[in-house]
Amino acid sequence: MATLAELRRLYHSKIGSQIVRFADSGGQAHPNFADGSSRSSVLISNAIARQLGFHEQDTESISGQTAGSLFERLTCEFIEEAFSAISHLRPGRWQYLTTQTRISRFVQYRHLEILDKVVSTNQDLSAALGHGYIVTPDIVISRLPTTQEEVNEYRVILDDSKAASLTPFIETNKAASLPFLHASVSCKWTIRSDRSQNTRTEALNLIRNRKGTLPHIVAVTAEPLPMRIASLALGTGDLDCVYHFALNELRGVCASLPRGWRPIGDAGDDD
């Protein structure tokens, strides 16, 4: 079993070979997670790329949409491998998906499927409520309901009485047993103001529309500019946490910059 540090290096290696491409802006090459119109973004992203061993490759360029999809898939693989390594701390049957799964497929949000069907057949309700409440996260982590045999693995806790007969945690209690949404992960290869707002809107929908335990709501990004990351990381508590794909390297780069330097004021910066 690989250590977390080894999984992290593998994650970066896959990102470097499958996603990172270098472009030229104003005579200076930079990786495709930088904003080429921002000197600060180019400076920081190049320094991160050097630390992670990212190099220019003789490969075809990829679109932003393709880069984003690959970032989701590789991040999901890393989460699954890391989470599986600590399965003794968080036992259960877990699923890790990047297939744009609607939240109405999970216990806490199954009522939204019924609501959506009603709204779709009623113009007045459709105009009042819209259809934006059924979120499709980039990555979902879910836990399947448990069986009575699993509960009684070490000693009998559940018998044939009606104790715990209503909880959806036991799969035999529901005719259509659904998994629990454990975490919703928003992946942003880069951050712009509109993308930041979209992430918060999804988080608010998850918070307001649940019937049951709130899942963890997090974001993962490769954005190099601290002020743009702060647009998600510093807020009103909509998100539990914002993760950077190379936080240690980003912090090291920023710490090494000249005293008093700030990544603001460049042409094209929106921070």
Q: Which residues of 51-80 are buried (b: 16+ CB within 10 A; e: fewer)?
A: ebebeeeeeeebeeeebbbbbbbbbbbbbb
pLDDT of 160 strictly over 90: no
Q: Are 127 and 239 contained in the same domain?
A: yes
- The residue behind tokens 């000249």 is 258
Confidence of residue 237 (pLDDT cuts 50, 70, 90): confident
**262 within some domain:** no
Q: How far apart are CA 22 and CA 29, in angstroms?
A: 6
Pair (42, 166) in one structural domain: no
pLDDT digits (tens, 9 = 90+) for 52-69: 999 887 678 899 899 999
Query: What pLDDT shows up at residue 75?
Result: 98
pLDDT of residue 262: 62
How many domains are there within the chain? 2
Helix (H, G, I), strand (E, B) or coil at 269: coil
More confident residue, 248 or 169: 248
Please indicate, yes or no, if residue 266 is contained in any of the structural domains: no
| Higher pLDDT, residue 258 or 37 | 37
Same-domain status, 67 and 114? yes
Domain span at residue 13 reads 4-144+179-256
Q: What is the pLDDT of residue 148?
A: 85
Pick the most confident of 22-26, 92-96, 172-176.
92-96
In a domain, 267, yes or no: no
**Residue-averaged pLDDT of the chain:** 87
Same domain? 197 vs 91: yes
Rounded distance, CA 136 to CA 248, Å? 30
Token output for 6: 């080894």
- What integer is the mean pLDDT of 75-94? 94
pTM of the model: 0.87
Question: CATH number, domain at 68?
Answer: 3.40.50.10010
Crossing angle between the packed helical segments 226-233 and 193-208, to the nearest 10 degrees = 20
| pLDDT of amino acid 270 | 44
Q: Are residues 248 and 166 in the same domain?
A: no
First to last CA, the chain: 42
Task: Judge whether 263 lies within some domain.
Answer: no
Please report the pLDDT score of residue 58 as a whole number. Answer: 66
Q: Is the same domain home to 70 and 15?
A: yes
Tell whether 127 and 205 lie within a shared domain: yes
Q: Are residues 153 and 245 in the same domain?
A: no
